[in-house]
Amino acid sequence: MKKELVLPKLREEMQEAVLCSWVKSVGDKVEKGEPVFEIETDKVVTQVESPFSGTLKEVYFEEGDEVKIEEVVGLIEEE
């Protein structure tokens, strides 16, 4: 079953972030709690962890793209 990977709201004032880099690539295995991508907000770079385990199947944003809170950035297929 594919599950949506979304940009979580990490701080109350956070509305959007810049996707700095993908730590994982499409086809990579991902464990729950493992970093999947990095974002920048207010000049702070933070790694975003996966909320579930599986395989990264799709990504919808490239490095440097602005992403809004709760927007789907990719899909992970659970195993």
Give the separation between CA 29 and CA 14, rounded to whole angstroms: 29
**Residue 76: what are its φ and ψ, rounded to 5°?**
-120, 130
CB count within 10 Å of CB 7 equals: 20
Give the separation between CA 13 and CA 5, rounded to whole angstroms: 21
Give the separation between CA 8 and CA 65, rounded to whole angstroms: 16
Indicate if the pLDDT at residue 56 is higher than 90: yes
Residue 39 has what pLDDT?
Answer: 97
Mean pLDDT of 12-18: 90
Q: CATH code for 2-77?
A: 2.40.50.100
Domain boundaries, the chain: 2-77
Task: Calculate the alpha carbon distances from 53 to 10, 16, 46, 72 in Å.
Answer: 21, 25, 20, 17
* pLDDT tens, position by position, 28-44: 999 999 999 999 998 89
